[in-house]
Chains A and B, each alone.
Chain A
Amino acid sequence: MRSLRIFSTRHSDGILWVGLCVLTLAAAALSLWTGAVKLGPAQVFDALTGRDAASTAARIVLYSRLPRTCGAMLAGAALAVSGSVIQTVLDNPLASPGVIGVNSGAGLAVALVCAAAPLAQRYAPLVAFGGALAGVLLVAGLSRHTGASRMTVILAGVAVSALFSAGIDTAVTLVPDALSGVTDFRIGGFTGVTMAQLAPAAGLIFVSLGVALSLSQQMDILALGSDTAQSLGLSVRSVRFILLVLAAALAGAAVSFCGLMSFVGLIVPHTMRRLLGERSFSLMVSSALGGAFFVTVCDLLARVLFSPFELPVGIILAFAGAPFFLWLLFKQRGVRT
């Protein structure tokens, strides 16, 4: 069954949000400060405020660590919110952008474009959005038209993901340089992310986040189930479609610069559901903050655990995420599938 809310009043939403903000900012500060090259807090501060911009320290902070940290926060927030939206729309706690083929759809689109027209890379967020949309509509459409059960939707998603991933692997094998701009594309990572890559994706993410938050009331109604939602006067079809488009935009934008990052979209919304209950507005805000925090911390771990060697952050996420997903699966067994 659905988990229960631990905190019960509205104030606690606020407390949790402030707490998450502080934690995220702390993680971000740590992320700017830590790395292969030792820098003092003063050097980081100087770099950020633009003093002594020509120094090596400033270059490291501004061109390597800052984009990386921003990327981690953005991707975490976008994927987590995308996951919470997809879970509500498909009425399925096991769904997430990684599981149902949204991420791999975006990845395939980016891989194909990079392989065919390397110069079009700057349109990566839009291309990824298109691929993500194709993935989510394919899975949602299949489940709608066949009246498939929840488990069938997940299995269809896994199949679609596998298909797209095979496509990505083919593209990467045939045109090895295609994804050189995005390292560790298949596991997900933030090495070599640039501000120029981030800017358009950030735009898409913030706009989608805003629209998604403005639809939180409709999401609450949708969470009551399709028949009840319709009899309450919600046009379920169009709201579902809009929300899936938003989920695809969020996940697609993230994938366009960080690659196939799994599990964030699954774990974070679930944890937040547990902490705060299922009011969509709280859920989306806390998922955004929690996702930003989680990915920033994982990225930090990826850099410091085996320093000076660096793990792709996707590996850390998977180490944290896979056991959680298994636990979730077996906890769900015998309920509704």
Chain B
Amino acid sequence: MIRLNRLCAGYFGKTVLREATMEFLPGKVTVLLGPNGSGKSTLLKAALGLVPPMAGEVLYDGVDIRRLKRRQIAQKAAFLTQSRNTPSIQALRMVLHGRFPYLTYPRRYGGQDYAIARSAMDVTGSRQHEDTNVAQLSGGQRQGVYLAMALAQDTPTLFMDEPTTYLDISRQFEMMQTARSLAREGKAVVLVLHDICLALREADRIAVFQEGRLLCLDEPDAVYQSGVLEQVFGVGVYRVNTPHGTQYYCAPQQIPGQRPEKCSDT
């Protein structure tokens, strides 16, 4: 399990994330919410060792990340990045790269690697594109291939940075279902999302960030009740009971006098 302990991180000497303490529980979908620049993506990158901690620590099963090798980290945590390159290679080839952390000299993928890569493509529904060039796939199909690559890494923790942003609505739902079923299998699934309602409906735990600070970390219902989302995003968040279960929606805040304090102090 990965634990962050009073973690500060940032780029080029500028602190973006301040003193975040949290852990990513196995079997749970944890969603990070917050406005742009609130430190969510930085937290992911720091948790993966892509940016070094400025203070505090990242612990992998109790071991400080600075004492782990890249390969060791890659065997514990996979990462679906937000912006990606699209090399002109066969999809299966790309998913096979998920086995890279396990390769030993002479670095050839073996039968077991192929089997794991193919079953990962089954999970993300991209098996039928196995022989297709990644560059010829649609955005959603490519996402499936990239996710399959992260799954082929076979890690206890999976981080995804805005996995739904460029997807159409049905693919967004599919993505969340995949995240849920991965969590059911025991993975710790951590997502950065921009869709508050999707997060409230699908997450097991929600972490809310503002200006680099972790404001709260709780179950969706408790987060909804606390009103922290209204305060951070400056919108009204409401819920209704429908035949399809409890649904959430956002709307511009109604009452003029009730603007959150945080927004006015710039």
Contacts and interface: CB of A to CB of B under 8 A. Distances in A.
B224 to A, nearest CB: 32
Interface stretch (A37-45, A72-80, A219-227): A219-227
Interface in B35-90: 45, 48-50, 69-75, 77-79, 81, 83-90
A207 to B, nearest CB: 19
B50 A5 contact: no
Interface in B84-118: 84-90, 93-94, 97-98, 100-101, 103, 107
B215 interface: no
B47 to A, nearest CB: 11
A326 to B, nearest CB: 22
A3 interface: yes
Nearest to B71: A233
B78 A279 contact: no
B50 A227 contact: yes
B165 interface: no
* Chain A, interface SS category: loop
A225 B85 contact: yes
A310 interface: no
A2 B97 contact: no
Nearest to B159: A231
A233 B107 contact: no
Interface string B10-30: 011000000000000000000
Interface residues of B, number: 37
A198 to B, nearest CB: 32
Interface in A194-240: 217, 220-221, 223-225, 227-228, 230-235
A233 B97 contact: no
B89 A277 contact: yes
Contacts of B103: 217
A230 B50 contact: yes
Contacts of A234: 70, 100
Given A220-B97, A221-B97, A233 B85 contact: no
B135 interface: yes
Contacts of B135: 1-4
A184 interface: no
Contacts of A224: 84-85, 87, 94, 97
B74 A232 contact: yes
Contacts of B88: 2-5, 273, 277-278
A46 interface: no
Contacts of B86: 1-2
Contacts of B124: none
Interface string A273-299: 100011100000000000000000000
Contact of A278 (B77, B87, B97): B87
B12 A147 contact: yes
B247 interface: no
Contacts of A225: 81, 83-85
A91 B81 CA distance: 16
Given A227-B50, A277-B88, A278-B88, A233 B83 contact: no
B136 A232 contact: no
Among A1, A8, A225, A233, chain B packs the most CB atoms within 10 A around the CB of A233
Given A1-B135, A217-B107, A279-B93, A231 B87 contact: no
Contacts of B50: 227, 230-231
A279 B92 CA distance: 13
Contacts of A277: 88-90, 133
B89 A279 contact: yes
Which of B48, B49, B77, B86 has the most CB atoms of chain A within a 10 A radius of its CB? B86
Contacts of B75: 233
A159 B48 CA distance: 36
A231 B79 contact: yes
A224 B74 CA distance: 15
Interface string A1-38: 11111001000000000000000000000000000000
Nearest to A237: B70
Contacts of B93: 279
Contact of B100 (A2, A233, A279): A233
Given A147-B12, A231-B78, A232-B100, 10 more contacts: A2-B135, A5-B88, A5-B133, A217-B107, A220-B89, A224-B94, A228-B81, A233-B74, A234-B70, A279-B89
15 contacts: A1-B86, A2-B135, A223-B85, A223-B87, A224-B87, A225-B84, A227-B45, A231-B77, A231-B81, A232-B100, A233-B69, A233-B73, A234-B70, A273-B88, A278-B88
A-B CB proximity, top 10 nearest: A233-B74, A233-B101, A231-B79, A233-B71, A225-B85, A277-B88, A278-B87, A278-B88, A232-B100, A223-B87
Interface of B: 11-12, 45, 48-50, 69-75, 77-79, 81, 83-90, 93-94, 97-98, 100-101, 103, 107, 133, 135-136, 153
Interface of A: 1-5, 8, 91, 147, 217, 220-221, 223-225, 227-228, 230-235, 273, 277-279
